[in-house]
Structure 1
Amino acid sequence: MSDLRVYEWETDDGHHGGTPHLHTVSNEGYVVIGGSGEVHTLSSEGYARDPLSAGSVLWFSPGTVHRLINTGDLRILTVMQNSGLPEAGDAVLTFPLEIVSHAERYRSAVSLPEGTEAERGEAARRRRDLAIEGYAELLSALEEGDRGPLDAFYAAASALVQPRVEEWTKLWTDTVLADVETTRSQLAALAEGDASHLGDAAVVRAVPRPEPRAFGMCGRLGIWDADRR
């Protein structure tokens, strides 16, 4: 979960906002907590534009290319499925196909350098603009009824993340699957009239990471860490 302040940087097509991308195995949800904007998506349903304002809620499945548009101080609480996988590289930005198809070129294009806030911000903006370049190609083809470029992007994205799947599987097993198995055990215990796990009840409090916010794909990210003291 993160508190997202969507970029206000202008783009060549006259919008303001974030970096188009997709997730390869994780659902993503938005709860809009302030401001106004839109999310533009490319999916099995084609191209869609959904208005966003305080109280808007929507989520989308893996493979949905999404682009956030900021029309006025847009702030979103984002909720990601599969604890840890999005942070481990589940997202693929919509760079032009010749970059996404080449692992080294992709890594170079997606990485933000060390440096001052201004330098990192400029690099994040260049990264955003490159992703919009590839996104525009996908959108143009899809509007003409041609899914070929989108399918080619899916294939390249899959090949790009394939070397990390073993690592992701272990991470998912240690987090998500472990939680599922805990709930399975608790249900089985309750079915037998055993409520002993309720005696382990606890509260975990989260603390915000210090400023400045991170440069995310779609904006500046406020992130919490669990305080387990």
Structure 2
Amino acid sequence: MSPVSGGRAEGHGSDPSAEAVTVAGGHRAPSGSPPFPGAIAVSHLRVYPSVAADGLPGGTPHLHTVCSEAYAVIGGSGRVLTVDRHGLRTTALTAGSFVWFTPGTVHRLVNDSGDLEILVLMQNAGLPEAGDMVITFPDDVLADPDRYAAAATLPASSLITGGDDAPVRARRDLAVEGYAELAEGGSAALARLHHRAAALVRGHVGGWRRTWTEGPWAAAEATGVQLAAMARGDHAHLADAATFALPPPPDDRRHGCCGTLGVAVWR
């Protein structure tokens, strides 16, 4: 979203019929489209049905450092295993369930039915894509930025479905190994993970601030401008009313931590 100018959010008058640009695993909204409500990121997630090294089918445990995340379950059943200041927790997931968690919460999706599908709503659109995700590898890997990057990065041949998924599974299994250490280590292990995570992402924070300022913060400021205008009887921004839409994601989906993703990108 562009900065607010003259009481209106610039770009709201773009042509909603303009063709969206395809991105890996999804679509990008036409240039000038407004952000999704609240400047959140939205992904359609099919949780991995394959079985990890510890026998549980599902995704790769990880955390975010500055973004809250929400699940709106649309099909299938399973669980999300979380680790936070209250310790270990298991939350059941069925169609219609809503679950959300704050930064620092370790989360791992388990696909009990084999067909668990979720709409993932992520705070601060753009930040997770820019690196606000730390995978729960064993502590010796987390302590070494080069080893962490090598373990976390998928090769180009494994970025979308249809490619080789062996690196995706290997990344998950290494993360599950670290998750087991975390589960056994209690609050001290979680504190150590938070320390490692903060060190790993510190170099990205300057870029994140720019993304946040131009996106989520600008969207919130737009509301403030509109409220001030309405208070003085100025409703000019309503003339920019428009509808926007994106098609369903393509068949080739992006490999994420928790499953295959159909992503919608507005920036």
| TM-score normalised according to structure 1 size | 0.94
- What residue in structure 1 maps to residue 12 of structure 2? none
Residues 74-114 of structure 1: CA distance to partner in whole angstroms, max 9, x if unpaired?
11110000010011110100001111111111111011112
Mapping of residues 10-21 of structure 1, within 5 Å: 10-21=51-62
Unpaired stretches in structure 1, ≥5 consecutive residues: none
2:3 corresponds in structure 1 to: none
Offset of 1:153 from its aligned partner?
Answer: 0.9
Q: Which residue of 2 aligns with 1:121?
A: 165
Q: Which residue of 2 aligns with 1:171?
A: 211
- Map of 1:1-229 to 2, 5 A cutoff? 1-72=42-113, 73-115=115-157, 117=161, 120-142=164-186, 147-226=187-266
Contact 1:208-1:223 at 8 Å conserved across structures: no
Asked if structure 2 preserves the Cα contact closer than 8 Å seen for 1:207 and 1:225, the reply is no
Partner Cα separation in structure 1 for residue 249 and residue 162 of structure 2: 20
In 1, Cα distance between the equivalents of 2:164 and 2:175? 17
Contact 1:112 1:120 in 2 (8 A): no
TM-score between the two structures when normalised by the length of structure 2? 0.81
- 1:159-206 per-residue CA deviation (whole Å, 9 max, x = no partner) reads 000000000001100001111111000000011111011011111212
Question: Equivalent residue of 1:186, what SS?
Answer: helix
If asked which structure has higher relative contact order (CA below 8 Å, sep 6+), I would say 2
Whole-Å separation in 1 of the counterparts to 2:122 and 2:182:
24
The 10-residue stretch of structure 1 (103-112 or 208-217) with the greater mean CA deviation from structure 2: 208-217
Taking the aligned partners of 2:56 and 2:199, their CA distance within structure 1 comes to: 31
8 Å contact kept, 1:213–1:220 = yes
1 CA distance for matches of 2:260 and 2:249? 13
Q: Is the 8 A contact 2:52 2:169 kept in 1?
A: no
**Secondary structure, aligned partner of 2:217:** helix
SS of match in other structure, 2:99: strand
Residue 206 of structure 1 aligns with an amino acid whose one-letter code is: L
| Structure number having the greater helix percentage | 1
Deviation sequence 1:122-141 (CA, Å, 0-9, x none) = 10000000000000000012
| Letter paired with 1:126 | A
Given that 1:113 and 1:120 are in contact with CA atoms closer than 8 Å, whether structure 2 keeps it comes out as no
Which amino acid in the other structure matches residue 63 of structure 1?
G
- SS of corresponding position for 1:205: coil
Contact 1:39 1:67 in 2 (8 A): yes
Letter in 1 for 2:173: D
1:12 deviates by 2.7
Question: CA deviation digits over 1:17-40, x for unaligned, max 9?
Answer: 000000000000000000010000
Structure-1 separation of matches of 2:117 and 2:174: 23
Percent identity at matched positions?
Answer: 49
* AA partner of residue 110 (structure 1): A
